Amino acid sequence: MTAPVADAPATIAPAADAPGRVGAAVERILFGIGVMLLAVTPKPPMMGDGLARYQALLELLEQHQLPGTQYSMIGPLFATPLWVIGHWYGNTQIWLVQYNFMLFMVGLAAIYLLLHGRVPARTRRRFLLLLVGGSMIAAHVPDFYGEVFTATTVGVGLLAVVLPDTRWATRAAGWAAVVLGVANTPGSIVALGLVVGVLCLRRRRVRYLAALPVAAALIIGESWWRFGDPLHSSYAGHGGGPTVLPYSGEPGFSYPFLLGLVAILFSFGKGLVWFTPGLFLPVRERLRQAAPELWTVWLLWAVFVAGLVLLYAKWWGWYGGMYWGPRFFLIAMLPAALALAVSLEPGRAGPWVNVATLGALALSVWGAANSLVYGQLRPWTCYENNYHLEGLCHFTPEFSPLWYPFVDTPELTGLQRGTLVFYAVLLLWLVVPLLRRLGGQVAAAAGGHRDLADRHSWNW
């Protein structure tokens, strides 16, 4: 058990950075603007898995029939209050499309409360700011897809479970949230198995294994309730993807494992290296310095992501269908944003680590801006002729959603241009102190090389 870390600005306010109060005010304003942009940006019509979940919820609540959709109904059921409000006003869709945004806001509030008094104030602020302005969340909040529910419940739940000095009720609620999130994406029980295994080894307690049978019972119970068969699984033969597969194989877990692993990590259109680059920063010591338990939190989040990667590497639709970025791995935004937040703090990081942080920060903020401004810009070449050339969007840079706006630049609205300005200001605010530190390291290294050259200079 470790003592909480006080919100002490003395530990995080270097002379090169903005003064503490001014910096805090600026970051709060940036956070508020980022949230507002997520809320007011026009939302596209429901599509794919999101539309299927929405129709299934209507089938259950309005027609009083058990939906036959292959997707879990656990996440959508929590949107029932929004359906009630929409039913009163005569338009359920306009309310239910706000569900994922509201879930994300609740998750941010829970993270703030859980970290308050345990993590330095600026690290906490920047973590939340990067979740809003430096992650791929903007591509996920405008629809009714299920990834936001799983990412929020599992992410916040693990945080509540791991942090020290939390009440028993908080830890119990954390485990309940984790189990619900896993049951909402049944295949993620593999990732939960890795997480509880790591917890058992680190804490030397076997009680964490109890989460597995509870999650399994919830998954089986839903199948039994809806289909009359506890082992029913209709997803493996379906999924929101093309009818002509982008490789020679069959639906289900039939994709070559190594190829799927490399594609999930490195492909230009879906690779985690490009969409959540902070996940790959070396941050173990920085996390321990910021707050001892942050390393355990980051580790469990990363292990859960690793479990999802191992699961989906063999899935025929590992790419997540016609969707912006790697949607199955949304929870990766949590360890990625936390790693970036602590890497931006002054410390003893070497120049190469600072260069990696600079690159990861630029990619993350651009990815967030891209997902909000250009998220609906699609290279239709990939989807013509019954998705015959879909692989172009997954594996080639010019058809990747990250870079396609440079190939086919659309006409932007005033709101979209203003949004890009906001992200540019956000990036500038976060990157200037890092550039100063990096410049000082480069100057020091150059001075050292000049001294060495003077000592070994040749005379005529």
130/22 Cα distance (integer angstroms): 18
Q: Cβ(50)–Cβ(100) under 8 Å?
A: no
Residue with tokens 């919100």: 7
- Going by pLDDT thresholds of 50, 70 and 90, the confidence category of residue 449 is low
Q: Quick check: 454 pLDDT over 70? A: no
Q: Quick check: 6 pLDDT over 50? A: no
Region label for 188, one of left (φ > 0), alpha (ψ between -120 and 50) or beta (otherwise): alpha
What does the pLDDT look like over 383-421, one tens digit per residue? 888 888 888 899 999 999 999 999 988 999 999 999 999
- Going by pLDDT thresholds of 50, 70 and 90, the confidence category of residue 251 is confident
Percent share of the chain, pLDDT over 90: 66
Q: Quick check: 38 pLDDT over 80? A: yes
pLDDT at 153: 98
Please give the DSSP secondary-structure letter assigned to residue 251: S
pLDDT at 89: 87
Cα 31 from chain centre:
17
pTM for the model? 0.89
Q: Which helix (H) or strand (E) element contains residue 179?
A: helix 168-184
- Going by pLDDT thresholds of 50, 70 and 90, the confidence category of residue 327 is very high
Which amino acid, one-letter code, is at 99? Y
Q: Is 91 exposed, middle or buried (0-12, 13-18, 19+ CB in 10 A)?
A: exposed
CB 382: neighbour CB atoms within 10 A? Answer: 21
59/55 Cα distance (integer angstroms): 6
CA atoms within 13 A on the CB side of 372: 30
Of 274, 279, 281, 184, nearest in space to 235 by CA = 184
pLDDT at 321: 85
What does the pLDDT look like over 347-385, one tens digit per residue? 777 888 899 999 999 999 999 999 999 988 888 888 888
Contacts of 63 (CB under 8 A, 6+ apart): none
Q: Cβ(281)–Cβ(340) under 8 Å?
A: yes
Of 355, 361, 356, 366, nearest in space to 341 by CA = 361
Of 137, 140, 149, 143, nearest in space to 77 by CA = 149
CA angle at 402 for the pair 399 and 408, rounded to the nearest 5°: 55
104/137 Cα distance (integer angstroms): 9
22/416 Cα distance (integer angstroms): 28
Distances (CA, A) of 211 to 73, 297, 309: 20, 17, 21
Q: Quick check: 129 pLDDT over 90? A: yes
pLDDT at 14: 37
Of 198, 149, 218, nearest in space to 307 by CA = 198
Q: What is the mean pLDDT of residues 292-301?
A: 92
Contacts of 32 (CB under 8 A, 6+ apart): none
Q: What is the mean pLDDT of residues 162-166?
A: 89
CB 346: neighbour CB atoms within 10 A? Answer: 16
Q: Which of 30-44, 149-163, 169-183, 220-234 shows the lowest mean pLDDT across its residues?
A: 220-234
pLDDT at 439: 85
Q: Which of 29-38, 241-250, 362-371, 404-413 shows the lowest mean pLDDT across its residues?
A: 241-250
Q: Cβ(351)–Cβ(273) under 8 Å?
A: no
pLDDT at 134: 96
Of 38, 307, 104, 342, nearest in space to 193 by CA = 307
Q: Cβ(240)–Cβ(234) under 8 Å?
A: no
Percent share of the chain, pLDDT over 70: 89
Compute the mean pLDDT over every residue in the chain, rounded to the nearest whole number. Answer: 87
Please give the DSSP secondary-structure letter assigned to residue 243: S
pLDDT at 19: 60
Q: Quick check: 7 pLDDT over 60? A: no
Contacts of 341 (CB under 8 A, 6+ apart): 123, 126, 127, 130
- Going by pLDDT thresholds of 50, 70 and 90, the confidence category of residue 233 is low
What does the pLDDT look like over 336-354, one tens digit per residue? 999 999 999 887 778 888 9
- Going by pLDDT thresholds of 50, 70 and 90, the confidence category of residue 5 is very low
- Going by pLDDT thresholds of 50, 70 and 90, the confidence category of residue 68 is confident
